[in-house]
Amino acid sequence: MSNLNTVLPPVSERSNILRWMRRNLFGSWYDALLTILGALIAYWAVRGFLTWVFTVAEWEVVSTNMRLLMIGQYPLEHSDRLWVWLGFLVFLSGNSIGIWARRSRFAVVLLLIPALLALFPFGDSPRQWLILLCIAGLVGWGFGRARPDVLKRSVIAGWVISLPVIILLTHGLSESESGFMPIVRTNLWGGLLLTFLLTVVGILFSFPIGVLLALGRRSELPIIRWFSVGYIEIVRGVPLITILFMAQLMLPLFLPTGWTVDRVVRAMVGITLFSAAYLAENVRGGLQAIPRGQFEAAHALGLNGFQTMTFVILPQALRLIIPILVGQFIAVFKDTSLVAIVGLLDLVGIAKTVLAQPEFLGLQREVYAFISLIFWVLSYGMSYLSQQLEERLGVGKR
């Protein structure tokens, strides 16, 4: 070793593109090789994809059948009802953003999405509705921002009643065709509408069952614990499709003679029972993360077991697992597509109907690529949104 006392000047670390490339792309000979290989793959894939999208693919099949893909065979004359509840949801979202994410510019941009969609060639009526949706969202946002304290309660109440409102508006009220809001039978529900309803109902109803199962699994009472463990492990050990088949074929057998259950409701029951087992495991994870001291403190304050759970443990545990719950929501959303196999006409099931039209034979790639796009955008959007919200609100951290 030479003279250790020589002080070398610090290495200059100026960032320029060449140095960056040298470090990140051409560090060594195999790095260079990988870079070139990767660039070739990327070039080939992007070029192939773009060529297909812009020159080969025939997108009329999607634009012509947009209504089928979105709402299935839901009668067009009643589709205004769907727009109304969508407007209600957008209004509530705008309100919530105004109240809880006031600073977020990103969230406000979200409210402009309907207006953006209106630029696509969807026809006149949907375009007007989309613009109305955008206005509803922005108005809601303005209200929320102006009067956050007054509106908080009503917004929460709005979210609570939103599911009944959605179901009511979609299903209708009067038996006669001429009456107020005539009933639309569930066999006409389809497309993205059905996928959405199955997801929301599945998640909402599986939530209480999942929490109960998680508590049961941690219970000190052996029979309750065994029952919960048995349920959770059996459901998690079999594919969703077997549960859906069970719900379709065996549920009618389980009920007393004369009782009939709608096919869509059967699918909802199947998805709920399936999702509950997975949710239970997530909730259990949250429960396990709560330190013993919390139980002991609640006990010392004189709370009984039920009070300890509802007021001390569960609020903390559920808050901890919000990111995981969003993941679960996305998983259920993707899994609902399996109802197509038992013959429901959801987003995937309706594709067969679309492809059976004689003028669109052989366009499977276009149709399924479009459906994949919808799934991708919605799933990715949800996970991105939840990440943003977690960061902003500090959810999941304590």
Partner 1 sequence: MSRDEQQKTTIPFWRDERILRFLGQIVFVLFVLFVGALIYQNMKAGLAKQGITLSYSFFNGVSGFDIAETAFPYDRNSTYWQAFLVGLANTLSVGVVGIVFATILGVILGVARLSTNFIINRLAAFYLELIRNLSLLVFLIFWYLGVFLKLPRVKEAIIWPGDIILTNRGVGIPWGIPTASFPTFRLILIFGLILAVIVFFALRAYGQRTGRAPLTLLWSILTFILVGLLGWIILPEKPLTLDLPLVKGLNLSGGKILSPEFMALTSGLVLYTAAFIGEVVRAGIQSVSKGQVEASRALGLNAFQTLRLVVFPQALRVIIPPLTSQYLNLVKNSSLAIAVGYPDVFYVSNTIQNQTGRAVEMISLVMVTYLAISLFTSLLMNWYNQRIKLVER
Residues at the interface with partner 1 (CB under 8 A): 23-25, 27, 31, 34-35, 38-39, 41-42, 220-224, 227, 234, 236-242, 245-246, 249-250, 252-257, 330, 334-335, 337-338, 340-341, 348, 351, 364-365, 368-369, 371-372, 375-376, 379-380, 383
In the chain, DSSP assigns E strands to: none
CB of 146 to partner 1, least distance (A): 36
User: Looking at beta carbons only, is 73 or 379 nearer to partner 1?
Assistant: 379
Neighbours of 111 (CB within 10 A): 22
26 or 122: CB nearest partner 1? 26
Alpha carbon distances (Å) from 11 to 8, 20, 149, 322 = 9, 15, 57, 46
| Of residues 22 and 102, the one with the C-beta less far from partner 1 | 22
DSSP 12: P
- 182 bridge partner residues: 174
Q: Rank residues 6 and 257 by Cβ distance to partner 1 and give the closer one.
A: 257
84 or 246, CB closer to partner 1? Answer: 246
The two three-digit tokens of residue 42, written as one number: 């990327």
Answer whether 371's CB lies under 8 Å from 69's CB.
yes
Helix (H, G, I), strand (E, B) or coil at 346: strand
Cβ at position 188, least distance to partner 1 in Å: 23
Q: Smallest gap, in angstroms, from Cβ of residue 148 to partner 1?
A: 33
> Is the four-CA dihedral 198, 201, 205, 206 of positive or negative sign?
positive
Return the number of the residue (136 or 351) whose C-beta is nearest partner 1: 351
Residue (76 or 238) nearer to partner 1, CB? 238
Q: Measured from the CB of residue 226, what is the shortest distance to partner 1 in angstroms? A: 10
Question: Are the beta carbons of 243 and 249 closer than 8 angstroms?
Answer: no
Closer by beta carbon to partner 1, 42 or else 161: 42
Min dist. Cβ of residue 74 to partner 1 (A): 21
- Least CB distance to partner 1 at residue 300 (A): 18
Chain centre to alpha carbon of residue 231: 25
Our CB check for partner 1 shows the closer of 120 and 380 to be: 380
Distance CA 298, CA 295 (A): 5
In 184-262, alpha helices (H): 191-217, 222-237, 240-245, 251-254
Tell me which residue of 211, 347, 199 sits closest to 272, measured CA to CA: 199
| Residue 86 Cβ vs partner 1, minimum distance, rounded to whole Å | 22
With residue 121 as reference, give the H or E element that holds it: none
For the chain, give percent helix, strand, coil, nearest 5.
75, 0, 25
Do residues 324 and 207 make contact, with C-beta atoms less than 8 angstroms apart? no
Burial (CB < 10 A; 0-12, 13-18, 19+), residue 333, is buried
346 neighbors 337 (Cβ within 8 angstroms): yes
Within 10 angstroms of residue 203's Cβ, the number of other Cβ atoms is 21
Amino acid at 268: M
Nearest approach, Cβ of 48 to partner 1 (angstroms)?
A: 13
Q: Which two tokens stand for residue 385?
A: 């949104």
Q: Closest approach of Cβ 127 to partner 1, in Å?
A: 28
**Choice between 120 and 376, CB closer to partner 1:** 376
Provide, rounded to whole angstroms, the least separation between the CB of residue 29 and partner 1. 12
